[in-house]
Copies of this chain bind each other. A is one copy, B any other.
Amino acid sequence: MRISELSRRSGVATATIKYYLREGLLPPGRATAATQAEYGESHVRRLRLIRALIGVRGLSVSAAKDVLDAVSEYATDTHELLGLVFGVWPASGPAKDEDADDSEVGALLAQMGWKVSEHNPARDVITQTLQTLRSLGMDYDWHSLVPYAQLAEKTATLDLDQLEGPDDPLEKAERAVLLTFLLEPALLALRRLAQEAESTVRYRS
């Protein structure tokens, strides 16, 4: 199919498709002539994935590119893929503060018995959150996060269970990315729904 049909099938404007091609998010079609290229089903699917990462999850274009590159490069090594993909955060991400004291996170990891890479940016996110909460006068340290960490552990178990299905490595890699990224807004939404329900029980009973 040509670009106009690709546009119709995916719901993405042709100018935008060209932009994604330029930015390397979408692989080029098979050129059949100087001004003609042929696109396939994989392009439709890839475009939908791009729109999901950017539109639903809110990743920047360059963050989405990092994710997609990791998928195609490490499709066969789920563990390595997840490690790479964890480096991607929406927007600027955590403003990596070299002087930050992340020993608190270390204590939390030790308590939970989690073995985690030194430079997983999630460490910095937690360090920064704890610091911010304290700077706002809350009495909060890593101990307060332990119950949340236990729930996160169960969540992660659910996540990885769902990767057991597919044998095709590329499919498995895509599913890992979808479950990690696209589920994030949904998990936060579930928390808010549960908060409202619980708030009704406590304050409106």
Contacts and interface: CB of A to CB of B under 8 A. Distances in A.
Given A125-B189, A129-B56, A198 B48 contact: no
B82 A132 contact: no
Nearest to A154: B151
Interface stretch (A20-28, A30-38, A64-72, A83-91): A83-91
Given A78-B199, A115-B200, A133-B178, A156 B125 contact: no
A55 B188 CA distance: 18
What is the count of identical protomers in the complex? 2
Contacts of A180: 192, 195
A130 to B, nearest CB: 8
A191 B187 contact: yes
A158 to B, nearest CB: 5
Interface residues of A, number: 78
Interface string A175-205: 1001010111111111111111111101110
Contact of A147 (B48, B52, B109, B158): B158
A120 interface: yes
B203 A114 contact: no
Contact of A128 (B56, B78, B126, B200): B56
A116 B155 contact: no
A136 to B, nearest CB: 6
Nearest to A184: B188
A162 to B, nearest CB: 8
Interface in A31-68: 45, 48-49, 52, 55-56, 58
Contacts of A112: 194, 197
A138 B196 contact: no
13 contacts: A82-B196, A120-B196, A125-B186, A125-B189, A126-B186, A129-B183, A148-B155, A152-B193, A156-B191, A157-B198, A160-B198, A184-B191, A187-B191
Task: Give the 3 A-B residue pairs with the shortest CB-CB distance, closest first.
Answer: A156-B194, A114-B197, A122-B189
